[in-house]
Structure 1
Amino acid sequence: MLRDQLIGDLYEAAIRQDDFLEVLQRTAEAVGANVFHMFSWDPANNCPRFSVYTPDSHFDSIVTIYEAHYGALDPRRELVQRAPAGALVACQDHITDRDVARSEFYQDFQLPTSGHRYLMGTRLPRPGGSETLLGLLRDKGRKPYIDADRKTAVSLIPHLHRAINLWQDAKDLHRDAALGTELMEQLGLAVFALDKDGRPVFSNQAGEALLKAGTALRLRHGRLVAPHASDNDALLGAILRVARSRRGESLALRNATGASHDLFMSIAAIPGQTLVTFGSASVLITARPRGNGPPVTARQLQQAFGLTPAEAAVAEALIEGTSPEDYADTKGVSPNTVRCQVRAILAKTDARSQVKAVSTMLSVLSQKKPG
């Protein structure tokens, strides 16, 4: 029962991150060890790449000396490194008391400082990275590990291997997510992570501010909605398509008055390995409010999509939120002419609707300076 509880705690703590080392210490104690030490050895520089050990301040100075000099002399490390991956190595099977008496490592460092005489260790490969060496150490004065200790350790090694790799992966993801969130805040990007039903499970400060303003995006019945029905249909459709196809899309939403497109959105699927960061989320939305001045110009539209001057003028009006009918009335041209120009714009932007055409044009050009 204790073993099963430890295994469950290991996996849970690996994802949570906050108390994994404490759970690992309990696991070490369950096999009769006093402390654990895991590290990755750098053969080029003959020192550890990383080093993690039992949370205990008095152990810090000992490990510092080990890393600086004595780790290179440690006969136990060589035994573990030469053993098959995942195999349990007990130093008592290979290092006798006579070896200890003649060893610089034991006599000058190990016994006088930490006092750890006996070790069980294993080598844990890490996909795409350096392997982790895990040592379970007993204090000086304690007897060698017994068969029951070894049996328990052998049964736990596969779980320790997966949990340690999971802990390292989750730590990298949390770090990357923190860096990404900070960068998005600095860039003024609103971020929303949505579950499979389109409900936000995460939003950053810029996202909360955007929802509070409610000018181009709102929260209704727990879902993101746009102020205008056509924009809202386009938003919900894009979220569903991205969740299903895993292919990203872009979208532009008009403000509450419908006068202009004020919010430019990128909708993407969240890779499965990052679910630890965003919980049950499967879709990530980043949104950028419109800055000062027009987002794009007719000249840019001509150059980017091969539009004629007349088509580019219509496209610019659509981006500004003007309907084809209002544009025709304002310019004094035939509505049929404008509708033909709209169809040409849809064809040249590979879009099936005006909303999608506007989103495509803004996605390509909205971050460029007018030319």
Structure 2
Amino acid sequence: MTQGIRNLTLEIYDAIADPLTWTSVLDQLVDRVGAQGSIIFEWSQDDGDLSLTAPFHSGFYTGAALNTYLVKCQHLEAKDQEVLREQTRNHDEIELLDDTLLAPSVKELKSQEHVQKLMHLGIFHRAAGILNKDNPWISLFSVQLNANREPLDEVERRYLAQLLPHIAKALDLSFPMRQLQERYQGVLSAIDCLNIGICVLDGRGMIVARNQEFQRQQETYRTFRVSPDGKLNITDRLGQKFLESLMSDLYQHGKFGARPRKESIVSHLLEPLCIELSPLHKSGEIGSKVFDGFILCSTDTGLPVSCNTRLVQQAFGLTSAETSLVNAIGQGLTNPEIADRRGRSVATVNAQTKSILLKSSCSNRTQFVRAMMRFGASFLSTDDASKKITKPKRMI
């Protein structure tokens, strides 16, 4: 990893706590590969219908112009993106595909309505990749090229290939923070409003700040141990070893491509916590100095989770019978409890659950609940006590 890539990777992870910095990150990518612009696409659900949004984009685009394009060309983008999903459905790698796959000839490609609109902006060729294979309707990366140049070459592809897994992980972990940002100005200063555990660690692993949910998890489970000097440890030996590797080497992050939740530390103590770590190099809320610490996110998958089961079914190819179990699993019910409520045998529910895990590439129920959370789950606490925003203690 070169110093330039390392620095940009750290900025990518900083965007988890400071979502407004995504524009700067994408601008640097655009400049490095000689592109015209870059967009992160996402489909959001509104009154049961999916609508195309662009939560993050490079500075080449204005928000108004981009919104106009999305309204007029959503149906055409939907067709293009479905091709990408079909082409890359069977593996976890992030693969950038050229727009040459979208039409049998350059002439026919140029005749498409949305391509013509882009050509008016001086753009022709595009390349795109799915950044989240759990929910393929979120986090689609796209880069647009000047009409005077050829598609991405191999050097440019190799450069992007080093960074896209980190972008995928940062986008995945930023969903709770984005919900916070939509309601509150600060992110780290409002972490008590999240229903997932957040713990800010310095470079040595010492606790700098933690929210109420993380403190509850510490009191409820045996997963975490805090040393007398304030260092956070995971009591499970393998979990602690993995945590230390993530803290010691930036290269250990982003190794699971378009399924970043596979990087989670799942407790081996039969507890439902799903622990994820990302670097935090610098944040305006912490101060102007370099911080070089970490954000640890801990999700209690034993708490009830609701999601869009229709999209879960589509994403993982579940049968109707399997889909009917999704909400029950999200509510934390055991297989015998599900069998009793549904009037089915435990063996039947066991078989259906095993099939769900296989289809969703999850090794256990904790991972599956974690994957469910990318289908419309809310991360904002409904507890009135937690709505009071307090500055995290010991913020540097």
TM-score normalised over the length of structure 2: 0.43
Identify which of structures 1 and 2 has the higher relative contact order when contacts are C-alpha pairs closer than 8 Å and 6+ apart: 2
> Which structure has the greater CA radius of gyration?
1
TM-score normalised over the length of structure 1: 0.45
